[in-house]
Amino acid sequence: MPDLHELGDLTRRMRYDVLDMTGKWGGHPSSCFSAVEIVTALFFGGILRYRPDDPWWPERDRFILSKGHAAPLLYSVLVRAGYAPVEDLQRFRQRGSGLHGHPIQGTFPGVEMTSGSLGQGLSFGLGQVLAGRLSSLDYRVFVLMGDGECEEGQVWEAAMAAAHYRADRLIAIVDHNKYQQTGPISREMSLAPLANKWREFGWNVAEADGHDLGAVIAALRGMAPTPNPSPEHRGGEPRPSVLIAHTIKGKGVSFMEADYTFHGRPLAPEQDVRARAEIARGDEW
Amino acid sequence: MVNGKMTALGGRAGLKPGETQLRKAFGDALLELAQANPRVVVLDGDLGNSTGSHTVRQAFPERFFNMGIAEANLVGVGAGFAACGYLPFITSFPSFLFCNAFDQIRLSIAVSGLKAVLVGSHSGLSTGREGPSPMSIEDFALAGGLPSLSILVPCDAASMRRAVFAAAEYPGPVYIRSSREPLPHVYDVDAPFTIGVANRVREGCDVTIIACGIMVPVSLDAAAMLAGEGIEARVLDMHTLRPLDTEAITKAAIETGAIVTAEEHLLQGGMGANVARIVTTTHPVPMRTVGIQDRYAGSASPFELMEDLGLTPDDVAAATREAVAAKR
């Protein structure tokens, strides 16, 4: 297990990155904040195999950001992982830069897929898993989705197909922050029972506190097939897996956590100062 | 048209009747390509026995994926294959593919610049008696609305084969419009087929008829009729709608002084509208457009529908006479 204290520092740095980018140029800060620990676990918790100096290494594990509005978080984790200089974040949403408002495949090292119309990542990831199988490569594909995104029909088309094709190298992570743009999911379009829906579609399901780094890392380790053993050696029927990560929208900043209307709203300057102070004190999470 | 029979098509122009359905020609070409190129995979929306793509299922089952009746996922999975260096052929009917999965074609393929080949069989009016639901008279407009997506419309079995191979070589994403019907031989054994380069299939100096797909033999029939009246029509097989052959269109305007377009598609957003865009810019001349006028078709045989919607050789000939008259 990696040093969780160090990872905690990284999560603070990435929240600052998100505030830096969205404060100047707009975006969805609270949708980024709910997923900070998830991407930290993936990139720095020993889950993803990747080579920042060879971003398109064919055997790499793929990370797909299906909830494309969390683009600032994606750019942040990529630069913190060494894919590009940290200064590149200043080019977010700037004319001629590859740091688009929503990710565009191949325009920035490590951006695997174009997203920004919800619901498309799981299908794309399934295609990559099936391609890997055909190429005899053992990489895994991790798809980070929003919970509101699970209202899209395509998600369930992909869920059905992934189970049918026994795509055990496909791992979905639902950032279950319980809010969509216009309000609480339970009020706007209920997803319950979310875990059972996935289970009934033939998936392995795990749930964890999505802000507990140790718990997220342990859950992902438990569900992602390790390199190479063939499915029959791992026992049971090969199935895709989903981690439902229970999260808090705007996590780390009390007034964002308490107000879902921060969805597409960057902070005002005085809010930014308060937010940074709270993030700095964030050890007690 | 004689008694609404298929065999009449191309008869006036002396074309040899086609014995091979376009979808069969597609399936054979796809199999040939898959044999030559191990990166070819086929993603099917549960229509492989209709579209012709089942040839690959039989020969290379490991490279054929039925994704079920779920077009959004079908296209997304294809895009994932493309991102890993495979060459996905995504097969369905154009109405299902473009109407159900437009968002996925747009974002996961076109915006991403991923190389995939979309193939829509049973295009235009060729579903006939099935009625307007599975017909596709809007696919040029839909595909045309996506920057960078090349659109290929083969007019016979020989050009279909070449279209499949040309699509595989093309650097960007491609849509191939296929059909259920056997179409007469516009070409003999092989067809010249370079993406973006129209084929001149009939010489003429009075007017140019620019056609695609089934409207190529229809227009050749019309040209044969007009020759008897002293009007010599050039006929272009505009098998590529994007990139459109600006040079051939401009040349036609300059050299023949009038242009008629003919397509089995809505006039709104179709080939004619795009040809007009070029003609008005480079060399304005009188134009007429033959196509479907802002309506849906009924349920009838494809040839009855072509009569109902004004897509017969007589209709093309009438439009051509008008365009020629407008020159004076």
- Across chain A, what does the average pLDDT equal? 93
Q: Are strands B64-66 and B40-44 parallel, antiparallel or unpaired?
A: parallel
Among the options B62, B71, B203, B307, which is catalytic? B71
Selecting from B73, B84, B88 the residue whose C-beta is nearest the C-beta of A132 gives: B84
Distance from CA of A44 to the nearest CA of B (A): 24
Distances in whole angstroms, Cα of residue A157 to Cα of each of A227, B163, B204, B285: 27, 31, 53, 50
CB contact under 8 A, B76 and A123: yes
Q: Is B71 tagged catalytic?
A: yes
Mutate to test the interface with A, among B107, B111, B114, B115 (most CBs of A within 10 A): B107
Domains B17-185 and B196-327 share a fold: yes
CB contact under 8 A, B86 and A131: yes
Residues 172-231 of A with CB under 8 A from B: none
Mutate to test the interface with A, among B56, B73, B102 (most CBs of A within 10 A): B73
On chain B, the residues whose CB falls within 8 A of the CB of A125 are 80
**Lookup result for tokens 């229509």:** B47
The tokens for A137 are: 């490569």
State the pLDDT at residue A283.
60
Distance from CA of B290 to the nearest CA of A (A): 37
- Whether residue B265 contacts residue B144, with contact meaning beta carbons closer than 8 Å, is answered with no
Tell me the one-letter amino acid at A192: A
Domain residue extents for chain B: 17-185, 196-327
Measured distance CA(A258)–CA(A250) in Å, rounded: 8
Mean pLDDT check: name the lowest of A171-175, A195-199, A265-269, B3-7.
B3-7
CATH architecture of the domain with residue range B196-327: 3-Layer(aba) Sandwich (3.40)
Nearest CA in chain B to A121: B76
Selecting from B76, B112, B113 the residue whose C-beta is nearest the C-beta of A127 gives: B76
- pLDDT for A285 beyond 70: no
Distance from CA of A201 to the nearest CA of B (A): 15
- Whether residue B281 contacts residue B231, with contact meaning beta carbons closer than 8 Å, is answered with no
- pLDDT for B136 beyond 70: yes
Tell me the one-letter amino acid at B77: V
Tell me the one-letter amino acid at B91: T
A17 phi and psi angles, rounded to 5 deg = -55, -45
| Contact residues for A162 (Cβ-Cβ < 8 A; gap 6+) | A122, A126, A129, A170, A203, A240
As a whole-number percent, the residues of chain B with pLDDT over 90 amount to: 91
CB pairs below 8 Å between A and B: how many? 107
pLDDT in tens, B80-99: 999 999 999 999 999 999 99
Q: What is the mean pLDDT of residues A106-124?
A: 96
Distance from CA of A118 to the nearest CA of B (A): 10
- pLDDT for A233 beyond 60: no
Fold of B17-185: Rossmann fold (3.40.50)
As a whole-number percent, the residues of chain A with pLDDT over 90 amount to: 86
Sign, Cα dihedral of B51, B54, B55, B60: positive
Distance from CA of A114 to the nearest CA of B (A): 6
**Lookup result for tokens 């747009």:** B106
- pLDDT for B325 beyond 90: yes
DSSP SS3 for A163: helix
Q: What is the mean pLDDT of residues A174-198?
A: 94
Q: What is the mean pLDDT of residues B251-273?
A: 97
* Beta-strand runs (E) in chain A: 62-65, 141-146, 170-176, 179-180, 183-184, 204-209, 241-246
State the pLDDT at residue A86.
96
On chain B, the residues whose CB falls within 8 A of the CB of A124 are 76-77, 79-80, 83, 108
pLDDT in tens, A14-29: 999 999 999 999 999 9
CB contact under 8 A, A105 and B81: no
Residues in chain B: 328
CB contact under 8 A, A123 and B72: yes
On chain A, the residues whose CB falls within 8 A of the CB of B63 are 134
Residues 94-113 of A with CB under 8 A from B: 104-106, 112-113
Measured distance CA(B77)–CA(A67) in Å, rounded: 17
CB contact under 8 A, A157 and B70: yes
Distance from CA of B34 to the nearest CA of A (A): 14
Measured distance CA(A57)–CA(A224) in Å, rounded: 20
Measured distance CA(B107)–CA(A119) in Å, rounded: 11
Distances in whole angstroms, Cα of residue B238 to Cα of each of A91, A182, B197, B251: 43, 48, 8, 14
The tokens for A205 are: 């399901």
State the pLDDT at residue B6.
44
- Confidence grade of residue A235 (pLDDT, cut at 50, 70, 90): low
- pLDDT for A228 beyond 50: no
Of the two residues A204 and A223, the one the predictor is more confident about is A204
Tell me the one-letter amino acid at B102: F
State the pLDDT at residue B101.
97
Of the two residues B228 and A226, the one the predictor is more confident about is B228
- pLDDT for A224 beyond 80: no
Selecting from B80, B112, B113 the residue whose C-beta is nearest the C-beta of A123 gives: B80
B274–chain A Cβ distance below 8 A for any pair: no
The tokens for B239 are: 């098998």
B65–chain A Cβ distance below 8 A for any pair: yes
- Whether residue A181 contacts residue A263, with contact meaning beta carbons closer than 8 Å, is answered with yes
What are the residues facing B262 on neighbouring strands? B211, B290
DSSP state of A198: H
A124–chain B Cβ distance below 8 A for any pair: yes
- pLDDT for B27 beyond 60: yes
C-beta neighbour count of B108 within 10 angstroms:
31
Of the two residues A225 and B8, the one the predictor is more confident about is B8
Nearest CA in chain B to A112: B83
Mutate to test the interface with B, among A104, A157, A170 (most CBs of B within 10 A): A157
Tell me the one-letter amino acid at A33: F
Nearest to A251 by CA among A237, A262, A240: A262
Q: What is the mean pLDDT of residues A178-204?
A: 94
| Contact residues for B57 (Cβ-Cβ < 8 A; gap 6+) | B42, B44, B48, B64, B66
Measured distance CA(B290)–CA(B305) in Å, rounded: 14
The distance of Cα B160 from the centroid of its chain, to the nearest Å, equals: 9
Report the side by side order of strands in the sheet with A170-176: A62-65, A141-146, A170-176, A241-246, A204-209
The distance of Cα B283 from the centroid of its chain, to the nearest Å, equals: 26
With DSSP H G I counted as helix, E B as strand and the rest as coil, what are the percentages for chain A, rounded to 5?
A: 45, 10, 40
Distance from CA of B109 to the nearest CA of A (A): 9
Of the two residues A235 and B19, the one the predictor is more confident about is B19
- Put residue B90 in one of left, alpha, beta given phi > 0 → left and psi -120 to 50 → alpha: beta
A132–chain B Cβ distance below 8 A for any pair: yes
* Beta-strand runs (E) in B203-278: 207-211, 233-237, 240-242, 259-266
B113–chain A Cβ distance below 8 A for any pair: yes
CB contact under 8 A, A130 and B113: no
Distances in whole angstroms, Cα of residue B319 to Cα of each of A15, A126, A145, A212, B284: 66, 50, 54, 72, 17
Q: Are strands A241-246 and A170-176 parallel, antiparallel or unpaired?
A: parallel
- Whether residue B259 contacts residue B301, with contact meaning beta carbons closer than 8 Å, is answered with no
What's the half-sphere exposure (Cβ side, CA atoms, 13 Å) at B10? 20
Residues 30-49 of B with CB under 8 A from A: 41
Cis peptide bond upstream of A193, omega within 30 = yes
Mutate to test the interface with B, among A60, A65, A66, A130 (most CBs of B within 10 A): A130
pLDDT in tens, A140-158: 999 999 999 999 999 999 9
